[in-house]
Each structure stands twice: as structure tokens, then as C-alpha cells.
Structure 1
């Protein structure tokens, strides 16, 4: 899908399981996190097509199969998260075209942040949403988040917005990332599988974030909590929070759940950041929480 500024987004649809769900079955939109791509969610899409849902997804601009924003194709960059909201608004009619049932959305990490902002700020079609480890705060240790925000803002003002932020590096296929000590999942097979996607199709790979991305992300997080609309979001929300997450701040999940009037917070003590790609004992509990949520909000 091409946007007016020449950027293009990759929109995807999974063929339903057999037998196919009826046309008026619910449709689930999957919104990946930073540096992710729709292929990474094929297993989850299969889970939900088998549950009788239609499943669609999109790659955000700047990553996956969408157009990149800088000559350095490995750098994750954006100047404002508002462009993600605009892209999502433009893509929704095409993603939901031909569907007659309730619309649902599931966003992970950055995708969860954008989704939560979208339903708070824009007209939307959703019957309910699921936010998996939403990026409502970033673990910027050893710096406090406030100090990291000031540093990112200063770097952008000094003209370094399109350079890698401190500690961020280009994607490297070799050596493969070490499973030991990783912050994403306790499942070694899913961890290795996700790296294989980028080996098989290097165009999907994305490395570290720019100062511009970090500045935009922290500004968007602050904007989300500063606005006075959260208490008026009249929408069922399931917020999934892995308490062993060292990438996003779980205390912000608690804060959002208190402010959103119809939010259910489901916590998983051993869960790391990628709850939907965790080891089966954790992932099965995550899916059970989603099943319970859908049973409560969808028609029989």
C-alpha cells in the first residue's frame, strides 16, 4: 500500500484454517513491535485462524517489508510517532475490507503503544484490543528514563537524529545472537526461529534505533500519559505484562490499567518481553487469557 509521501506499507492476510470461518467472524489485526515483521507472527496467526478468526497484519514503515526511511537500511528511525497513527488510519479500510464481523487488534511492544494511542486519539473500528508488553515506558538503565529523554532530545537538536543511539548497532547476521541472557523469550526454539527469518530474507532485518527514534518514542510515551483522554476510552482492553520484562517498564502497565476504565491487566511472573513467543508453559497461559477475554467481549 503506497502512502502520499511515497512510502509503502506491507499489508498481509493469512488464509484461514479449514473449515474457513464465516464471513461475519471476527477479524484480528496484528501490529508488530519495533524491528519486527509479519512473518514473526505466523505461528500466532495460525493459533487464531484455528480459533475461527480472520487474521490480518501490517509492517510499520521503516521496518519489515515496508519502505525504509534512511539510506542505512539497518537503522530504525522515525521523527514522530504521529506518522504511525496516520499510516494505521490509512491502512485500516484496506485491512478490514470484505470483513463483516467485529474488528479486534493485537499490538506488541511498540505496536501495542501505537494501538493504545490510536484508540485514545482517533476514531477506530475496534470491538476490543489486546496490548502485549506495550511500550509505555522504556528500560533505559543505567540512565533514568527522564535523563535518556533529555539526552535524546539534545542529540536530535545537535543534528545527530539519524545516528545510532548510545549502545545501538546495525543488524549482524553473524555471529547469531546468544540465547543465554537474552531479554526476549525463554524459548530457545522460537528465539532461533525468529533469527532465521532474517537470515532467509535479509531485507526483513533491522538493527538498532537512531537518536531520532528514541526521542520520538519517549515523546510519544510522555504524550500518552499526559493527555486527559485515557479515562474516556470506552473499549475493552486486555493488557498482557511479563513481569520478567527488562525492555519495557511494567510499572507503566499498572498505571495504564488503573487509568483505562475497561482494562484487564494479566500478569505473568516469569514472562519476558515476547509473551506471545515464550516457552509453552507461559505462552499457553497467555493464550488462555486472550481466549477468556475474547469469550467475554465477542458474540457467542
Structure 2
């Protein structure tokens, strides 16, 4: 299951190093929580919050990078994707009725992922949909984080050829007609054939482009397809709620917003505008980069990591030394 990026870097090795735990939810579902082998002398902890359609297996390379920097690394699969329970009989449909469910799940998972005694300070890293949920959670809920990184956060979705207001109206209308659990226009089940790299809107790196697909192929129960009208309507409503939330202007923790200049999935200009509302917000833009900044070619990814490192050095205590790795806790 090894792969080499365009820069010669191994992209898939180590997926099996995640150790998983199942957490029941109050409504009868389950969350899959992940624990990466921790450094022996951590300088802190980081929580990884994936984007839509992602699973923690895709974050193995990033988890190893955080560990080398001295962070105990944990994460979760959002409900409706990865190894967590699904909302619909067709497990390929990316569906949720309300993003508040994601916030509730994160609140339930935090005491298990970052219990008392976990190395502090704690940092949160959220990508795309995960970045959006993270920003809402920081504004709305109690949290343990000393700093946060929002990577290409979903603050506006590219809806071409429809204008965004029309797409929002159509999604809401389809939900009102009782079609919320149906696929949105053009969305389908996951297909096992390798997707074409040419013209993809995610990354410039051909090996990293396939990391998530390889995880699905190796374990089809993780696979996820496109979104439903209900998910799309819930996403629009959640983004509008975040933009209108006055509590954003009162956030006191440092937040680094990473923005892909060539993003064709979400609206990078919205990310830059949102960062100006954060009292301790910083924004870094990577011209020409595609949506998945942490899955980009090394020439871009290295710049992203340099900015994260500088942000951590500015906002967190300096580590005493670079620690070695030790085994992760035994999975339940």
C-alpha cells in the first residue's frame, strides 16, 4: 500500500498505525475515534478534523508529521463517513440533516480524545468541512484549544454553473419536497475504478490524489460517494449561521486560516474575509494551490508546514526537545 508523490515522498505508508475506538452516540449511532502513536515527551496534542468524504486513513502522513513535531495526535471520522455510522441505508450517500449533529458529536468525542492528563496545550486542525465545523465549534461551544488551524475551510461552496443564491434555493426546495435523502444533481455512489488525475480539483500530486481512494479500495466499508440535497441544504444553512454569528468577533484564541489560491471546491476569498473577523486571525494564501493543501506537492506542502510551524512557535511554548515515538494506547 505504498505510494510515491511527485516529489518522491511516501504518501500511503503507515495508514495501519492508527488505533481506533468506537464511541456510541446518544441517538444510537457510533463515532470512530483515532489515536496515532504518541511521542514519548509530547509538547502538546493535536486533534485532526477531516473534510467531507475523508477518513482518518487519509491523514496518516499528516499524523506522522505532527508526531515528528512533538504532538500527540488524535482524530475522528465524522458521522456519515469513514468508519463512523451512516445516516442512510445507502452508505455511499453523504448526508446529514443539520450540521448541529456534527457539533454534538465533536462535543461528545472531546472527553475521550483529549481527556484530563492529555498533553497540553491542545491544538485543533480542521480541513474544508472539518474547518467549518471547527470554526463553528470554537464560536458556539466550550473547548480546550489554545490555537486552531483552519485549512481551506468551507465558508462558501463553488456552485457553478448555478449562482450560489439559486443553488441554495434549489437545495432548500428539494428538502421541502421530501427529496432531502436523494443525491443532489450529478452526485453518485463511490466507484472502485481509479479516478482520473487530469483536471482534478483537489491536488497537483498524483500519488497523494489517490490516498483516499486507496483507503476505500482496501476497505470498501469506508467508501463514500456524493452529497444529498439534505447535506447541501444543511451546509448552506450552517455557513450562513457562522457568517452571522457575532461571537466570532470575540474569539480569543489564535486561528491560522490556510487558503488555496486555486481552490475550485470552496471560495478562498471568503476564507480571507472571514480571517479579518477573528481578533487573533492570521491568513496565508498559496497561489495556484488546489483545495487539499496538505495533500499537495511537496513544494506547496512544505510552505504550508513552514507557516504552521511559525504559527506554533509564535503561539505555543517552545518544546524542550524533539521526542521519540512510543506505541499508541490499546484500542477498545
Q: Number of residues paired by the alignment? A: 295
Cα drift, residue 196 of structure 1:
1.0
Does the CA contact (< 8 Å) of 1:16 and 1:50 recur in 2? no
Separation (CA, whole Å) in 2 of partners of 1:144 and 1:227: 24
1:46 is the counterpart of 2:68: no
Contact preservation (8 Å) 2:72, 2:119: no
Aligned to 2:121, which of 82, 99, 102? 102
Q: Distance in 2 between matches of 1:100 and 1:259?
A: 30
Cα distance in 1 for residues equivalent to 2:52 and 2:211? 17
Q: Would you say 1:156 and 2:178 are equivalent positions?
A: no
Q: Which residues of structure 2 form unaligned runs of 5+?
A: 1-22, 319-332
- Tell me, yes or no, if structure 1 residue 166 matches structure 2 residue 188: no
SS in 2 for 1:220: helix
Distance 1:50 1:100 in 2: 15
Query: What RMSD, in angstroms, separates the aligned Cα atoms of the two structures?
Result: 0.8
Residue 194 (structure 1) shift? 2.4
Q: Displacement, 1:214? A: 0.1
**d(CA) in 1 for partners of 2:110 and 2:170?**
35
Q: Is the 8 A contact 2:260 2:285 kept in 1?
A: yes
Q: Tell me which moved more, 252-261 or 274-283.
A: 252-261
Deviation at 1:100, TM superposition (A): 3.5
1:21 corresponds in structure 2 to 41
State the Cα deviation string for residues 111-160 of structure 1 (Å, max 9, x = none). Answer: 00000000011111100000000000000011111111100000000000
Aligned partners of 1:193 and 1:6: how far apart in 2? 31
Matched, 1:194 2:209: no
CA contact (8 A) 2:204 2:290 kept: yes
1:1-300 equivalences under 5 Å are 1-17=23-39, 20-22=40-42, 25-97=43-115, 98-174=117-193, 176-300=194-318
1: distance between equivalents of 2:124 and 2:210? 27
Q: Secondary structure at the match of 1:9?
A: strand
1:90 counterpart SS class: helix
Q: Deviations over 1:45-88 (max 9, x none)?
A: 00010111100000000000000110011000000000100110
Higher relative contact order (CA 8 A, sep 6+): 2
What's the CA shift string for 1:5-60, capped at 9, x where partnerless?
1110001110025xx224xx210000000010101000000001011110000000
After TM superposition, the runs of 4+ consecutive aligned structure 1 residues lying more than 3 A away are: none
TM-score by length of 1: 0.97
Question: Contact (CA 8 Å) 1:230, 1:260: kept in 2 or not?
Answer: yes
CA contact (8 A) 2:54 2:212 kept: no
* TM-score scaled by length of structure 2: 0.88
